[in-house]
Structure 1
Amino acid sequence: MKDIVADRLNKIEDLEQRKLLKNIMTSVFLNLVDYQEEMNRKLEEKVFNEITGTTENLDIYVTVCSRDELDPIHEFLYPMIPGDAEKKNCNMTDIISRLSAKEEVHLLTLFLQCDFVKSKELINSQRAFHGEMITTEGQYRIQVSLQQNKTYMDEIEKLYNVFQKNSIPWRTVNHPYANKFFDAVLVGCEGTLKEEEEIQEIRINLEEYEEYKRLNMVPLWNIARIELKNQGFPIPAMDKVNFEHILSLRKPGVEHGYLIDGEEEMIKYIKRTPEELIVVSPQEKSGSWNVLKVTQPVSSKSADLAYELISNKRKNSFMDAFIRKQAITVRAKGEISRIACSFEATQDFELEHVEIKEQEGKATETYDMNPFISDHVRSEKDKKVMKLRFRASDNSFIRHDILSFLVSEIQMYFPEYKCEGELS
């Protein structure tokens, strides 16, 4: 509008009239234009904030690194299991007692840097591999089998339960590294182990999988466990039964996301403001609350990572945010394509074809990243399969895992089908 006014004024040839009109416009009209533009900006900001909701700072970022390269004071990445930061040693006494009780003996955990299809072949083969256990008194030839380590998937399930307690919609955690950890389980040993021996080294030959083997790897994410104390005394809630516990977010940082982790019966609901969490609870005494801090990433720190930093962050799109607010899912290929393109991590994937077919029981290229979410309304065996074929320009070892994330997200929009993905 200001440009239009300036253009019209410049076309007035009479300088006296131009000066007079310019003074009038500057003193009255342009101030009104500034006010209107500011009000429009605030209205637009309000609409966008209402559509975006409270989950924009709850994006989960993940990666993996060697224990030797783990930074204990990293600004936003922390071990999924805090104990992983410490080196774990096998205890001979514990091994012997477990063998005597005919229990499984887990010697070590390793990371396989290979594609999901390759690791699935290994799981299905149930093979045994040869190795050596070197102790202070000699060495033993051993046989081990590899079992998929579920520890980190269990942590994601715990996170899902925390989201439910906080009444926040769940978004699949895009953790392509979590299912690539395997436990080496002792299945055979030549010789008799002695309790006084100390294990110095365990060597395992994975044969054709040896090139993918990585030891002492630690999965990381941007979730820190902290405690927050009440700000003052609890205030009686409006229902005159519960109490409001006010937790200030200024010290840990208002720019981060926060989730209350506590007993479900102690959390009625949670109110959020930019600088506070208000927990409505039957607990009448002041105290500390366990909180999961979802730290926002620092771009300069992510550039030095050996493995790619992956997230479930959605692209900043008003249309996507608006559609998510609606309770209706459009059953169309275009809608599936929109969902697939709405995440930053899936920019290299393009939907090619959607096919509805009967279940065939064949091996699939994807897996469910939300196995802890069950459908209590429909029978899994009666569902038809929605086969989603994608084209991917990415050729990394986690591409099938990213595809599994995509399919798992689409599955939540189409629970009446069993969604499976494949790459063309």
Structure 2
Amino acid sequence: MKDIVMDRLSKMEDLQQRRVLRSLMSSVFLGLVEYQEELNRQIERRVFEEVGNQDSKYDVYVGMCRREEWDPLHEYLFPMMPEDTEPLRVNLQDVVARLNEGEKLPLFSLFLECPYPMIQELLYSNRTFCGELITNRGRHAIQVRLERNTAYIREIEKLYHIFLSNGLPWKTINHPYAYKFVNAVLIGGEVQLAEEEEVQEITVQLEEYEAYKRTDLVPLWNIQRLELKTGGFPVPADDRVNFEHALPLAKSGLQHGYLVDTTDDSIRYIKRSPEELTVVSTRDKSDSWQVLMVVEPVSTGIGKLSYPLMSNRQRDDFISNYGRSQGQVVRSKGEIVRIIHSFAVSEWLELVDMEIRPPSANPAMTYELNRFITDEVRVDNGKWRMCLKFSYRETGKDLGYLAEDMMSFLVSQVQMSFPEYRCEGEWA
């Protein structure tokens, strides 16, 4: 508006009229325009703040490193299972007892750095592999079979139930590494051990899969376990039955997300404020509470992960934030495109097309990441299939072996919005 006024003034030939009009505009009109522009900016800021991404504090970041590279002082990454940071210990007496009774014994876990379809083919083949149990007294031949390691998947399922008990919406966890671990299970061998023998090393030869085998890896995520004490005495709640236990968060950091880790039936609900977490419970005594802190990542120039950092964080733009705040799904291809491209993982994958197909029993290329979410209204059998076709974008990072896993993450997130279909992913 100011430019328009100045342009009109510059075209006036009568200098006297130009001087009078400029004085009038400067004293009245331009001030009114600036006032209106400031009001518009305030309204814009208010709209963007109200539709901001309030759930970003609970975004989960995951990574992985070698055991010898694990930094116990890392700013925001912690082991999913603390025992992974300890060296492997094998009880020989347990090994002998299990073999004599014909039982299976999981020895250790392996990470297979190959595409998911290859892992599926290997697990379904039910093959056995040869290995050696090396002790301080000699070598013993053993037979090993690979089975899926579900320990990290169970940790994600536990986190899902904690989200529910804390009254927070669930967002699919993008942890492609968790689905590539397998257990080396001892199923047989000629092992005759003396009492004084000690295990020094266990080796397994995976034949054509040997090039993909990785050992001594520690999956990480930005979740730290804390024990927070109630600040002060419990206060009777408004219902005069329960008590409010306030957990101050200033000391541990207000920028992080907090989840009360408990299955205690005494907890009724949990309230949140910027500076404290309030647990409403039937307990009338001050107590400490087990809490999961979802740590906000910080940039650090010290240390480097062996495997790239992944997350389920969505881009912080107005359209994505507004769509999440509405809680309604638009049944259109455009909505599916918006959901997929709102995640950072879409840097490697691009949705090319989608197609609705009749039910089929054929296995899909992708897998469901939220199997623990039960649908008591719809049955999976007989659902029409929504097939999402992707193309892989070549970037500077070589993540081709994670392509199907990243595609499974995006498809699983779309599945939560379209439960009437069985969502599947495939390459275009």
TM exceeding 0.5? yes
The amino acid that maps onto 2:172 is T
Cα distance in 1 between the residues matched to 2:87 and 2:4: 70
CA contact (8 A) 1:96 1:195 kept: no
Q: Which residue of 2 aligns with 1:409?
A: 413
Q: Is the 8 A contact 1:98 1:105 kept in 2?
A: yes
Q: CA deviation at 1:40?
A: 4.5
Distance across 2 between alignment mates of 1:22 and 1:338? 46
Give the C-alpha shift of residue 37 in structure 1.
5.5
1:178-223 per-position Cα deviation (integer Å, ceiling 9, x unaligned):
0111111011212423343111111111111101111100000000
SS of alignment partner, residue 299 of structure 1? coil
The root-mean-square deviation of aligned C-alpha atoms, in Å, is 2.5
CA deviation profile, 1:87-141 (whole Å, cap 9, x unmatched):
1211211212333444321111111111111111111111101111111111011
| In the alignment, structure 1 residue 396 sits paired with structure 2 residue 400 | yes
Question: 2:374: which partner in 1?
Answer: 374
The CA distance in 2 between the partners of 1:270 and 1:42, in whole Å, is: 33
Query: Take 1:37 and 1:261, find their aligned partners in 2: how far apart are those partners?
Result: 48
**Counterpart mapping for 1:258-337 below 5 A:** 258-301=258-301, 304-337=304-337
Distance 1:268 1:33, change over 3 A: farther
Identity %: 49
TM superposition shift of 1:325 = 2.6
| Structure 2: unaligned runs, 5 residues or longer | none
Query: Aligned-pair distance for 1:353?
Result: 2.1
Task: Check the 8 A contact 2:111/2:180 in 1, yes or no.
Answer: yes
After the TM superposition, which residues 148-167 of structure 1 pair with which residues of structure 2 at under 5 Å, given as runs? 148-167=148-167
Closer, same or farther in 2 for the Cα pair 1:35/1:265, shift >3 Å? farther
Displacement after TM superposition at 1:324 (Å): 2.1
Aligned counterparts of 1:294 and 1:44: Cα–Cα separation in 2: 30
The residue that corresponds to 2:184 in the other structure is 184
Distance 1:3 1:411, change over 3 A: same
Normalising by structure 2, we get a TM-score of 0.90
8 Å contact kept, 2:2–2:30: no
**Separation in 2, partners of 1:222, 1:6:** 56
How far did residue 302 of structure 1 move?
8.7
C-alpha separation in 2, matches of 1:3 and 1:270: 54
Secondary structure of the residue aligned to 2:265 is: helix
Using the TM superposition, name which of 7-16 and 155-164 deviates more: 7-16
- 2:170 is matched by which residue type in structure 1? W
- The one-letter code matched in structure 2 to 1:423 is W
8 Å CA contact retained: 2:98, 2:105: yes
Shift of 1:4: 7.0
Q: C-alpha distance in 1, partners of 2:409/2:131?
A: 35
Q: Name the SS for the 1:75 alignment partner.
A: coil
Q: Deviations over 1:37-85 (max 9, x none)?
A: 6655454344333333531111100011100000100000000011211
Q: How many residues align?
A: 421
Q: CA deviation at 1:33?
A: 6.7
1:422 matched to 2:426 = yes
**Residue of structure 2 equivalent to 1:347:** 347
Deviations 1:18-50 (A, max 9, x none): 99769846xx975x7777666554543443333
Q: Deviations for 1:306-349, whole angstroms, at most 9, x for unmatched residues?
A: 21100000011221222223343222222111111110112222
Q: What is the CA-CA distance between 1:226 and the residue it aligns to?
A: 0.6
Map of 1:210 onto structure 2:
210
- Structure 1 unaligned spans of 5+: none
CA distance in 2, matches of 1:304, 1:44: 40
3-state SS of the aligned residue for 1:259? strand
Name the aligned partner's letter for residue 78 of structure 1.
F
2 CA distance for matches of 1:240 and 1:54? 31
Q: Which residue of 1 aligns with 2:131?
A: 131
Q: Would you say the 8 A contact 1:165–1:264 is kept in 2?
A: no
